Amino acid sequence: TQAHLDAIDAAGALNAYVLVTPEKALAGAKSADERLAAGNAGPLEGIPVGVKDLFATDGVRTTACSRILESFVPSYESTVTSQLWRDGAVMLGKLNNDEFAMGSSNETSFFGPVVNPWRRGGSDAKLTPGGSSGGSSAAVAAGLCLGATATDTGGSIRQPAAFTGTVGMKPTYGRCSRWGTVAFASSLDQAGPITRTVRDCAILLRSMAGFDPKDSTSVERDVPDYEAAVGRSIRGLRIGIPKEYRLEGLSPEIDALWQKGVDWLRDAGAEAVEVSLPHTSYALAAYYIVAPAEASSNLARYDGVRYGLRVPGRDIAELYENTRAAGFGREVKRRILIGTYVLSAGYYDAYYVKAQKVRTLIRQDFENVYASGVDAILTPATPTPAFGIGEMANASPIEMYLNDVFTVTVNMAGLPGLAVPAGLGAQGLPLGLQLIGRPFDEETLLAAGEVIE
């Protein structure tokens, strides 16, 4: 724990942590030592982890990296983090993310961007670690924690993992409790780990997962011993390669990586089959209706009365307006406007209901592929390697949204998805592959992911 605290100090320029909690960490490490000495250690005893600032931590400031929650100190602990502490893990601090987890580059954070510890060969340009869990991915990649919690609504675990050469699992919807996690889009949000290896991912996931009566969408189902799946043979596994993911203009580097992934899985005894997910091209458009709709509803609670920031006004309506104008950043406001628009009378059927229908079709595409005997699907995790901080500043928001083209389908269908590092591209930057599984079959992803990493 002390070594990690020192490393965090030395790496302040990465801006990965928005709050370091050294006293808490060292006290936790001391109790861990005592439990280890007494022989009653938990499965994560003494393991130092970082926590995305979207998870409520009892007595420790939790902001979702928004000005509107700048001074919010919860009096409760999220279920996911409380399970980590139950198993002996030690919290080092809170990790940076895009404001309310809206973004793909960690540049929408109120606390400023996170710097990816990776550099393009021969260049000093600072790169993003992806987003929204950019603090989590950068911290794991730079050795500023042994693992981190993260959340994924449309790719926010898998894309930052791919950009930093780390492992990220978005579990099946309902596998990890959402209780105590700041809500973005409740029907899509899921917590999961970012780690250095697939084995670490399995170990952390086991502690994070499980039924929670406080989350009505949490699923009552035993948590398997995920670590036992790591190293399991994948002989005879049928891996689907969806032809619709071979996008026009896909970079040759990403295409070649994908083919290598197929070869590695084949060499380990799996069979690759081409499959079709015909509604793939509608996923991104439908996601950017459903997610903002739910966000606009979830963010209505930040009114200057119940939480965090309050900017007074002449009357209550003006207080709401002033608080929300000052408290939310540009991207969050854009999402609220889109969400309010697609939910309003007259547009609801044309946009929101239509997007929900598309969502059903996307889920059915996956169901059909799995019903045909396919065990998991292999795709690239992202269309490009990490890009530069500020590089997208003048691009349209849609260009940023295109980062999520391979990841949003998984959230729309509620499936598990694993991003694993698959080597370095031409610029010397890490590239990731994604494995998509059947509902609640994270184990197959871990087994196949270990073959790739």
In the complex with ligand GLN, the residue whose CB is nearer, 132 or 195, is 132
Phi, psi of 376 (to 5 degrees): -160, 165
Give the neighbor-by-neighbor strand order of the sheet with 48-52: 17-20, 90-95, 48-52, 147-152, 190-195, 167-170, 417-424, 430-437, 376-380, 238-242, 271-275
Residues 243-262 binding ligand GLN (CB under 6 A) are none
In the complex with ligand GLN, the residue whose CB is nearer, 104 or 409, is 104
Which of 155, 210, 308, 339 touches ligand GLN (CB under 6 A)?
155
Nearest to 382 by CA among 367, 366, 404, 364: 404
In the complex with ligand GLN, the residue whose CB is nearer, 104 or 172, is 104
With CB under 6 A as the contact rule, which of the stretches 16-24, 153-161, 263-271, 435-443 interacts with ligand GLN? Answer: 153-161
Rounded least distance, CB 248 to ligand GLN, Å: 22
Here's the x/- map for ligand GLN, 181-220, by CB under 6 A: it reads as ---x------------------------------------
Rounded least distance, CB 184 to ligand GLN, Å: 6
* Inter-CA distances, 32 with 51, 97, 229, Å: 18, 28, 27
Nearest to 421 by CA among 118, 89, 148: 118
Rounded least distance, CB 356 to ligand GLN, Å: 17
The maximal CA–CA distance of the chain, rounded, in angstroms, is 70
In the complex with ligand GLN, the residue whose CB is nearer, 28 or 154, is 154
Instruction: Looking at 218-329, list the stretches that DSSP marks H as alpha helix, in order from N- to C-terminal side.
Output: 252-267, 283-298, 316-327
Is 214 among the catalytic positions? no
Is 260 among the catalytic positions? no
Rounded least distance, CB 216 to ligand GLN, Å: 21
With CB under 6 A as the contact rule, which of the stretches 79-87, 154-162, 253-261, 422-430 interacts with ligand GLN? Answer: 154-162
- Residue given tokens 């239509």 in the structure block: 354
* Interface with ligand GLN, residue 434, by CB under 6 A: no
Instruction: Looking at 39-146, list the stretches that DSSP marks H as alpha helix, in order from N- to C-terminal side.
Output: 79-86, 134-141
Nearest to 291 by CA among 24, 100, 47: 100
Question: Both tokens of residue 162?
Answer: 């791919």
C-alpha 242, offset from chain centre: 23
Residues 368-427 binding ligand GLN (CB under 6 A) are 404
Here's the x/- map for ligand GLN, 10-49, by CB under 6 A: it reads as ----------------------------------------
Is 52 among the catalytic positions? yes
Give the other-Cβ count within 10 Å of 353's Cβ: 13
In the complex with ligand GLN, the residue whose CB is nearer, 85 or 406, is 406
Q: Which residues are catalytic?
A: 52, 132, 156
